[in-house]
Amino acid sequence: MKIKFETDDSLDEDEIIVKCRSFDCHIQELKAAIQEVYDSQSKITLYKESTAYYIPLENVLFFETENSHVQAHTEKDIFQVKYRLYELEEILPGYFIRISKSSILNIRRIYGIDHSFHTPVTIHFQDTHKQVYVSRYYYKSLKERIKEMR
């Protein structure tokens, strides 16, 4: 395997091109590793009253809509977001997934999934009492995404 880096001042943003004979499991792992490094450095601007906070996306447990306002939940805080959920779906990295009409989940932060028979599927997070519910409509895609990430 050859590895080559080129700099180009005319680029608006960084671009990574991988040339390969076939898209095998090693190339797929490389793609995932590159994406993970890029995604882990992403931040989002969140608001609490009149203060703007620049929070790494990794710290967000989930986004939810309440009273037509979108909120971002971290382990200890709740922040306001100036995006609609459908806008967040477009800009968030692949480890966020829609789990209901009113929620988007960071699947890297899942600690447990409660599959009780008579209640909705509940997602639990480590080191916090917060939880979020998965609708039946979105549950299958959540299961598939979790399986892909393991």
pLDDT tens for 44-89 read: 999 999 999 999 999 999 999 999 999 999 999 999 999 999 999 9
The stretch 92-117 carries a mean pLDDT of 93
Q: Which tops the pLDDT comparison, 13 or 24?
A: 24
Domain ranges within the chain, ordered by starting residue: 43-109+135-149
- Whether the per-residue pLDDT at 38 is higher than 80: the answer is no
Q: How confident is the model at residue 39 (pLDDT cuts 50, 70, 90)?
A: low
**From 3.90.1860.10, 2.40.50.100, 2.40.50.1020, 1.25.50.10, which CATH number describes the 43-109+135-149 domain?**
2.40.50.1020
C-beta of residue 99 within 8 angstroms of C-beta of residue 134: yes
Name the pLDDT band for 3 (thresholds 50, 70, 90): confident
Those residues whose C-beta lies under 8 Å from the C-beta of residue 79, and which sit 6 or more positions away, are 46, 47, 48, 53, 55, 71, 72
Within 10 A of 51 (CB to CB), how many other CB atoms are there? 8
Tokens standing for 9? 């001042």
Q: Is the pLDDT of residue 118 over 90?
A: no
Residue 148 one-letter amino acid: E
> Residue for token digits 């997602």?
123
